[in-house]
């Protein structure tokens, strides 16, 4: 088993859960600067999209070295596309690749991808095995030009890849759930372990639950006992609201670490167990908006607005400010709204 950077991480391992539409490049960079997660994982990207020439999908793979170790998360069902996409990940300089087997979205799971793979363990194992083979082939010198990717994808990778990439075998990990419609996680992880992934992260809900109800950490703990008998590390995910709670769950349920999800929205300081001042919230909200424009462009600012709303809470006039920010079209407008004068007129809500 090639574990790569996973063997060098602090214990316990703390990171941010990859979330579609949230953990884009600006969000990850802000979190890395102000929260310092032990591992960073991108939004998931479709391997079929990559292999069909979707250059737009590769925007999720933009990253800064401050985010290292950084893992590219991919999803899909086409085995050959996983093979080809692994070359994209390797050429872009990522530290590992994570296969999403946990997304419950109907658009993903209904075609058998994401958490849909829980119902097809043989296919899931083939995907892991094929991805590992691709990374082995790449480490031994096979070129991205040799795997029949669309020329526009190869061109984008060449334009964005770091200089002097050292070819070495990258680790493969998996993020999944405790089951499809019912809890089957003990049987499910035994299948995954046959292919020796470096790490398995388990979200404590079934696909059927989506994000409703409570995360079942007892089920995560049961799976952890099985995984801990191997060289694979295991992380838990679901309903973690603070660092003390993360550490308590890690200890109680015997996992090697945890990924924190929604609690980190607008709160990169959570990973350092710090409570920011209103001034710090304003400053980082502006910084985030500026990074959004720098990394993703200034033409379409709408996706940034939800992040702004997450920063603006916990003080007087927060609702009024959020309404203004939901109309902002640029980082300069954000800066104007969250001005020194505005700061002087708000007080913490106790």
Q: Are 250 and 334 members of one domain?
A: no
**Per the domain annotation, does 180 fall within a domain?**
yes
Q: What is the domain count for the chain?
A: 2
**Per the domain annotation, does 346 fall within a domain?**
no
Q: Are 137 and 166 members of one domain?
A: yes
What was the pLDDT predicted at 340? Answer: 77
Q: Are 197 and 111 members of one domain?
A: yes
Q: Are 185 and 243 members of one domain?
A: yes
CA distance 338 to 345: 11
CA distance 204 to 273: 23
**Per the domain annotation, does 218 fall within a domain?**
yes
| Residue tagged 């069909």 (tokens) | 52
Q: Are 168 and 312 members of one domain?
A: no
Is the Cβ–Cβ distance between 174 and 128 less than 8 Å? yes
What was the pLDDT predicted at 315? Answer: 83
CA distance 197 to 219: 20
Q: Are 98 and 159 members of one domain?
A: yes
**Residue after which a domain boundary falls, among 223, 245, 269:** 269
**Residue after which a domain boundary falls, among 269, 302, 326:** 269
**Per the domain annotation, does 116 fall within a domain?**
yes
| pLDDT tens, residue order, the chain (350 aa) | 889 999 999 999 999 999 999 999 999 999 999 999 999 999 999 999 999 999 999 999 999 999 999 999 999 999 999 999 999 999 999 999 999 999 999 999 999 999 999 999 999 999 999 999 999 999 999 999 999 999 999 999 999 999 989 999 999 999 999 999 999 999 999 999 999 999 999 999 999 999 889 999 999 999 999 999 999 999 999 999 999 999 999 999 999 999 999 999 999 999 999 999 999 999 999 999 999 999 999 899 999 999 999 999 888 888 999 999 999 999 999 999 999 788 877 777 65
On the 0-12 / 13-18 / 19+ scale of CB atoms within 10 A, 302 is: exposed
- CATH assignment of the domain containing 154: 3.20.20.70
Q: Are 224 and 300 members of one domain?
A: no
**Per the domain annotation, does 350 fall within a domain?**
no
As annotated, the active-site residues are 103
Q: Are 71 and 209 members of one domain?
A: yes
Q: Are 200 and 293 members of one domain?
A: no
Q: Are 207 and 287 members of one domain?
A: no
Q: What's this model's pTM, rounded to 2 decimal places?
A: 0.95
Is the Cβ–Cβ distance between 63 and 25 less than 8 Å? yes
**Residue after which a domain boundary falls, among 269, 291, 325:** 269
Smallest Cα–Cα separation from 64: which of 81, 80, 40? 40
CA distance 298 to 330: 7
CA distance 339 to 350: 23
Is the Cβ–Cβ distance between 203 and 176 less than 8 Å? yes
What was the pLDDT predicted at 306? Answer: 97
CA distance 247 to 14: 9
Give me the domain span that covers residue 300: 278-340
Residues shown for the chain: 350
**Per the domain annotation, does 192 fall within a domain?**
yes
Q: Are 78 and 207 members of one domain?
A: yes
**Per the domain annotation, does 347 fall within a domain?**
no
Q: Are 39 and 111 members of one domain?
A: yes
Smallest Cα–Cα separation from 97: which of 60, 123, 141? 60
Is the Cβ–Cβ distance between 235 and 255 less than 8 Å? yes
Smallest Cα–Cα separation from 14: which of 232, 204, 222, 248? 248
Q: Is 35 left (phi over 0), alpha (psi -120 to 50) or beta?
A: alpha
**Per the domain annotation, does 349 fall within a domain?**
no
């Amino acid at each position: 088993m090639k574990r790569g950077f996973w063997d060098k991480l602090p214990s316990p391992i703390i990171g941010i859960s990859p979330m579609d539409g949230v953990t884009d490049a600006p969000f990850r960079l802000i979190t890395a600067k102000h929260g310092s997660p032990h591992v960073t994982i991108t939004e998931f990207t479709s391997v079929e999209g990559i292999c069909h020439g979707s250059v737009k999908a590769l925007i999720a793979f933009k990253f800064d070295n401050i985010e290292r170790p950084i893992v590219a998360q991919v999803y899909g069902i086409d085995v050959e596309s996983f093979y080809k996409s692994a070359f994209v990940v390797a050429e872009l300089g990522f530290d590992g690749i994570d296969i999403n087997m946990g997304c419950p979205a109907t658009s993903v799971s209904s075609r058998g991808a994401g958490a849909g793979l829980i119902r097809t363990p043989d296919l899931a194992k083939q995907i892991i095995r094929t991805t590992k083979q691709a990374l082995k082939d790449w480490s031994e010198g096979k070129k991205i030009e040799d795997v029949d990717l669309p020329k526009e994808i190869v061109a984008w990778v060449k334009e964005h890849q770091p200089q002097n990439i050292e070819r070495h075998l990258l680790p493969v990990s998996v993020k999944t759930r405790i089951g499809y419609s019912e809890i089957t996680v003990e049987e499910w992880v035994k299948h995954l372990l046959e292919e020796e992934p470096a790490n398995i992260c388990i979200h404590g809900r079934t696909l059927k639950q989506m994000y409703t109800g409570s995360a079942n950490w007892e089920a995560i703990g049961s799976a952890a006992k099985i995984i801990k008998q191997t060289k694979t590390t295991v992380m838990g995910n679901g309903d973690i609201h603070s660092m003390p709670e993360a550490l308590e769950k890690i200890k109680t349920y015997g996992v090697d670490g945890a990924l924190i999800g929604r609690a980190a929205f607008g709160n990169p300081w959570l990973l350092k167990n710090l409570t920011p001042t209103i001034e710090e919230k304003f400053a980082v909200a502006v910084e985030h908006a500026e990074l959004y424009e720098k990394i993703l462009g200034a033409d379409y600012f709408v996706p940034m607005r939800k992040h702004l709303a997450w920063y603006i809470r916990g003080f007087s006039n927060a609702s009024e400010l959020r309404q203004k920010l939901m109309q902002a079209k640029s980082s300069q407008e954000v800066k104007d709204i969250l001005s020194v004068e505005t700061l002087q007129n708000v007080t913490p809500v106790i």
